[in-house]
C-alpha cells in the first residue's frame, strides 16, 4: 500500500462523493493529501477520518470558481510541503441548472463552464510551475465524465464542459510532457455514493444497470483506483489518455439492453 509513498497530492472537490474516495485511497497508498473544497466542516471530517486510518492529510478552503482561492491553495501547498507531485481535478458542479440548447441561458452556460472547465484550466496553470521546477515533474489527473462520450437529451452545457476537459487533458500532456509532467483523464460512469444514493431514482438505476456490462453500479473507489495508477510511477509512460470507468456502459451498441431483454443476440 505504498504506491504513492511520500507524494504530495492535491485532490480538489474532496469534501464529498468521488473526491472523498480518492482522498482516502491516496492516503492509504502513502500520499500526503490536501483535501480541499468550500465546506470547512465536511473537509475537516474527511481529514480526521484519514488520520484515524493512519494516513496523512490536511484541509484547505478552495472555491473552484474563485481564481484567488485557487492561487492560495497551490501556493500554500507548495510552501507547506515543498512540492506538489499530483493534482487531481475532481471539483465540479453537476447540480447547476442545465438542459437543452433552447432552454439554456448565457448565464447558465457560463456558470457551468466556469465551474467545470475554467477552474480545471486555472488550477493546472497555477500548479505547472511547481511541477516543472528543477525538472521535478508530476502527474495531473482530470476527472471528466461519460457525458462527453455522446449526445444526450439534456445536460448540454455540462457535457460540453467535460468534453473540454478531455481536450485540455491532451493539450497539457502534449505541451508539458517533455517537462516530465503527465496528464490523463478518468471519465466516471454512474457512481453511487453515500451522498447521492438516496437522490438517484430507482428507475434511473435500473436503466443504467440494464446497460452496464457488469453486475453493479460504480462506487468512488472504482474511480480512485484508476487515479492511483495515473498518479503513481507505474504510469510514467502513460500520458494524454482518457479512460472511461463505467462498467462497460459506453462500450457497446445502444440496442444491447433491449435485445438482452428479448433473449436475442441480434435482429
The pLDDT of residue 232: 98
In this prediction, residues 188-204 reach a mean pLDDT of: 85
Assign 76 a pLDDT band (cuts: 50, 70, 90). very high
Q: What predicted TM-score, i.e. pTM, was given to this entire model?
A: 0.94
Assign 60 a pLDDT band (cuts: 50, 70, 90). very high
Q: Which candidate in 122, 130, 158, 176 is catalytic? A: 158
In the predicted structure, residue 95 carries a pLDDT above the cut 80: no
Assign 267 a pLDDT band (cuts: 50, 70, 90). low
Assign 255 a pLDDT band (cuts: 50, 70, 90). confident
Q: Of the given ranges (59-63, 82-86, 129-133, 252-256), which has the lowest mean pLDDT?
A: 252-256
Domain ranges of the chain: 8-199+217-253
Helix, strand, coil percentages in the chain from 3-state DSSP, rounded to 5: 50, 15, 35
Sort residue 38 into left (φ over 0), alpha (ψ -120 to 50) or beta.
alpha
Assign 70 a pLDDT band (cuts: 50, 70, 90). very high
The percentage of residues in the chain with a pLDDT greater than 70, rounded to a whole number, is 98
Assign 122 a pLDDT band (cuts: 50, 70, 90). very high
Alpha-carbon distance values, 257 to 126, 214, 219, 261, 262 (Å): 44, 12, 22, 6, 9
The pLDDT of residue 198: 82
In this prediction, residues 45-55 reach a mean pLDDT of: 97
In the predicted structure, residue 83 carries a pLDDT above the cut 90: yes
- Tell me, which fold does domain 8-199+217-253 have in CATH? Rossmann fold (3.40.50)
Query: Any catalytic annotation for residue 158?
Result: yes
In this prediction, residues 137-150 reach a mean pLDDT of: 94
Tell me the three state secondary structure of residue 156: helix
Q: Can you say how many angstroms the Cα of residue 136 is from the centroid of all Cα atoms in its chain?
A: 23
State the Cα–Cα distance between residues 166 and 250, nearest whole angstrom: 16
Amino acid at each position: 500500500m505504498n504506491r504513492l509513498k511520500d507524494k504530495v497530492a492535491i485532490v480538489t472537490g474532496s469534501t464529498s462523493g468521488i473526491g472523498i474516495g480518492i482522498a482516502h485511497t491516496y492516503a492509504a497508498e502513502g500520499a500526503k493529501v490536501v483535501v480541499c473544497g468550500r465546506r470547512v466542516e465536511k473537509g475537516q471530517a474527511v481529514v480526521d477520518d484519514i488520520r484515524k486510518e493512519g494516513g496523512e492529510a490536511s484541509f484547505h478552503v478552495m472555491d473552484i470558481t474563485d481564481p484567488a482561492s485557487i492561487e492560495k491553495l497551490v501556493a500554500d501547498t507548495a510552501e507547506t510541503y515543498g512540492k506538489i507531485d499530483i493534482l487531481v481535478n475532481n471539483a465540479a458542479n453537476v447540480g447547476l441548472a442545465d438542459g437543452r440548447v433552447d432552454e439554456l441561458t448565457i448565464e447558465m452556460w457560463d456558470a457551468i463552464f466556469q465551474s467545470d472547465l475554467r477552474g480545471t484550466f486555472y488550477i493546472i496553470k497555477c500548479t505547472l510551475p511547481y511541477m516543472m521546477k528543477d525538472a521535478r515533474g508530476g502527474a495531473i489527473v482530470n476527472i471528466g465524465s461519460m457525458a462527453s462520450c455522446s449526445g444526450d437529451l439534456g445536460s448540454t452545457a455540462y457535457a460540453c464542459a467535460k468534453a473540454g476537459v478531455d481536450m485540455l487533458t491532451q493539450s497539457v500532456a502534449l505541451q508539458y510532457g517533455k517537462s516530465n509532467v503527465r496528464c490523463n483523464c478518468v471519465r466516471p460512469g454512474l457512481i453511487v455514493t453515500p451522498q447521492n444514493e438516496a437522490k438517484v431514482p430507482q428507475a434511473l438505476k435500473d436503466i443504467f444497470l440494464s446497460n452496464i456490462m457488469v453486475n453493479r453500479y460504480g462506487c468512488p473507489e472504482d474511480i480512485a483506483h484508476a487515479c492511483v495508477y495515473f498518479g503513481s510511477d507505474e504510469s510514467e509512460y502513460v500520458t494524454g489518455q482518457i479512460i472511461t470507468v463505467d462498467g462497460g456502459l459506453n462500450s457497446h451498441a445502444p440496442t444491447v439492453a433491449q435485445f438482452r431483454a428479448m433473449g436475442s443476440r441480434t435482429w
